[in-house]
A and B are shown apart, each in its own frame.
Chain A
Amino acid sequence: MQKSLLIDADKCTSCLQCEMACSFEHEGTFNPARSRIKIFEFEHGKRSVPYTCTQCAEAWCLHACPVEALVRNKETGAVEVKDDICVGCKVCTIACPFGTVNYNPDTGKVIKCDLCGGDPQCAEACPTDAIVYVDAAWTGLDRMQQWAASTDNKPMANA
């Protein structure tokens, strides 16, 4: 079963545990500047929104790469960067409509979410379940269930 990251911004408190976990997994150090997932805050923190790669089925980045350094992991569905092939041309960073592929000046390669090989550390670290890892075919299940529950149209007691 393929799985996806499911993000619920309403639950995010902007603690950045996900950014630290991501950078620790990939760089061995706690370094939000090198995280593949980012939290954005709006209106003095009224809304905090986690944002990362959605692993497009037809991935612009993958198609744009001139050296085939971006490769689909068939097990996880993630598009991964092969560091030994990447030449740092950054064409993928231009091709991605969402901005989720970024260049790392320290290494001369691009970095993006690779779902940590199927065990995404951001979801593991998130204290509020704003980021969870679920069946890719059913990311809408919770929301469907909420709407389904709202179809209860019996007259309210004491209305």
Chain B
Amino acid sequence: MSWQGQILRVNLTKGTAVAEPLNMEWANAYIGERGLGTKYLMENMDPKADAMGPDNVLIFATGPLNGTMASTSGRYAVICKSPLTNGIGDSNSGGKFGAFLKYAGYDLLLVEGRAKEPVYLHINDDSVEILPADELWGQTVWNTEEWIKTKHQNPQLRIASIGQAGENGVLFSAVVNDLHRAAGRCGVGAVMGSKNLKAVAAYGTKGVTVDDPKKFMAIIKETHAKLAESGGRQELTEGGTHPMIDMMQEWGGLPTNNFKEVQFKGIDGVNPAATTTPNKNGHTNLITNKACFGCTIACGRISHIDPEHFTIKNRPEYMHASGGLEYETAYAFGPVVGVDDVDALTFANFLMNEHGMDPISFGVTLAAAMELYEMGVLTKEQTDGIELTFGNAEALTVMAEKTGKGEGFGKELALGSKRLTAKYGHPDLFMGVRGMEFAGYDSRALQGMGLGYATSNRGACHLKHDVFGPDMEDVSGKGKAQPVKESQDMVSMIDSTGLCLFTTAGWGPEDFVAQLDAALPGEWTLERCVESGERTWTLERMFNQGAGQTGADDTLPKRMLEEPAPSGNAEGKVNELSVMLPEYYKLRGWTEDGKPSNETLARLGL
């Protein structure tokens, strides 16, 4: 079977690292990764515990298809209680770390407690060491990876670490692996920092074996071909996710200036064409594309900044290639803060990876601060002498660096938009749900997306449902509850396999199931897998309820519910959440106030 059959439990308070058998009953009920990690979280902590305290549990979870030849087999999830939302934190990442954690022999790494001094974890097959990280504390993600590889004379180590942001408790800190892939959302990096855990380095020689190799290889051949031939896959290879920005601009769903607008005048400075057209110095931003582990799509962008650009002119250490812009980063450093300078966006992205932060939450928090500044609530004295106006590229890059390093006004931005806007008396300017900031889609122009945001267990996230089709058929709440509910369960299932959601560019649900069925013992049917997805969704909901959330948290900001979209396809419209939400609860088998009913819990074995 494609499980290693054991997990690694590390207790940083006690300084112990012990392997224990994988709970196969849970693996069979939750598939793996997101679902299994959530189950382990639920069974190992009280949801009421302080997210930044030693009783929070930090889980790195792989899935049954990780490390196999299934396309995109490198994704892993970081799961814990989120300090940003005080609910379930669930953030997944690509790169190569996840596969190598599994090759070392561990399906899941569970970190408890808090180390007295900074430490890092070095995993090489059966050898697991908790080592001092005092020399690494204060270092960037990039320096940390290099230092650990050099120290252990092993360039093949794969490393997941935090930068200064995670050390300083920036509430939207990321865990970054392989230099520029990140478990970006929910502040999972802040939790890692709260445990004094700087990095996890893994290398393994154990390999992954599937249950029925012959059948598995035959299926892989078909699924690889199917993905290769799909138009959606070809578009992702060619442009990554970035082209979505032109689509959203045209549709009128591109959040601009803290969601005051839905179309961006400076689009030509931040779209894919801006990355492929030489600038006045003849410099072209985009260099090439790059894959994560096992991925036959390769949507990742590799870019470099014009050495003459104001951001790096006197900083040669940034004159190299690194991870470039995808849609969400382009949105969060571009339209939502009104900046139209592609190299400034790229530099902000480098800073996010280097210091370990979520670009979406940072950008949307900065956007709220800019709105407060333009209202006169914040003054230049409070913002370190920087004009915090929409469109100021210098404000973007300077504040990104200050936030990462914990300097000046960066310490305020570190709170995230919800706490920042509340602190300055304007909580309505927080653009997000449950404390987590919106991704780059406006809920008025994409109504089902709005319902997805409002009900997403981890807060305003665009990746936990998939309703672009219905949303672009009509701009209303009608008929959106069902595709939101169904796609949420489907995405939960896909996230739990260990594969990447982007494979849906070419694959249907049956393709995931066929690969699972060949890799694992027992019979895996579509029905079983989708039910498992629903179980995971409901378990996440129960975690949130245990943490104190209620149906009242399933809501959107006033701006989405009361201020009509100023232009585009949704001009004059607001989000129809009050129509969709009761229908959604009913479809889920939840009570009117949003609690899973006893019958629903019993049906799912919860």
A interface residues (Cβ-Cβ under 8 A, vs B): 13-17, 20-21, 23-24, 27-34, 43-46, 48, 106, 125, 127-128
Contact = CB atoms under 8 A, between A and B. Distances in A.
B208 A33 contact: no
B296 A34 contact: no
Given A14-B290, A46-B287, A127 B213 contact: no
23 contacts: A13-B291, A13-B295, A13-B298, A14-B290, A15-B291, A15-B296, A15-B298, A16-B96, A17-B296, A20-B68, A30-B68, A30-B208, A30-B209, A31-B208, A33-B103, A33-B205, A34-B207, A44-B320, A45-B300, A46-B321, A125-B69, A127-B224, A127-B296
B302 interface: yes
Given A32-B103, A44-B302, A106-B205, 6 more contacts: A30-B207, A31-B206, A34-B207, A44-B322, A46-B288, A48-B290
Nearest to B68: A30
A45 B321 CA distance: 8
Given A15-B293, A33-B103, A28 B209 contact: yes
Contacts of A24: 69, 213, 217
Nearest to B208: A30
A21 B205 CA distance: 15
A30 B288 contact: no
Contacts of B304: 46
A43 B320 contact: yes
Contacts, number: 87
A16 B203 CA distance: 15
Q: Which 9 A-B pairs have the closest CB atoms?
A: A31-B207, A29-B207, A46-B321, A33-B205, A13-B291, A15-B291, A127-B296, A13-B298, A44-B322
A17 B69 CA distance: 6
A119 to B, nearest CB: 13
Contact of A23 (B207, B292, B323): B207
B294 interface: yes
B289 interface: yes
Contact of A16 (B210, B293, B320): B293
B35 interface: no
B295 A45 contact: no
B274 interface: no
B228 interface: yes
B179 A20 contact: no
B303 to A, nearest CB: 9
A24 B68 CA distance: 10
Contacts of B288: 46
B458 interface: no
B298 A44 contact: no
A136 to B, nearest CB: 27
A29 B209 contact: yes
Given A20-B69, A30-B68, A45-B302, A13 B207 contact: no
A80 to B, nearest CB: 22
Contacts of B320: 43-44, 46
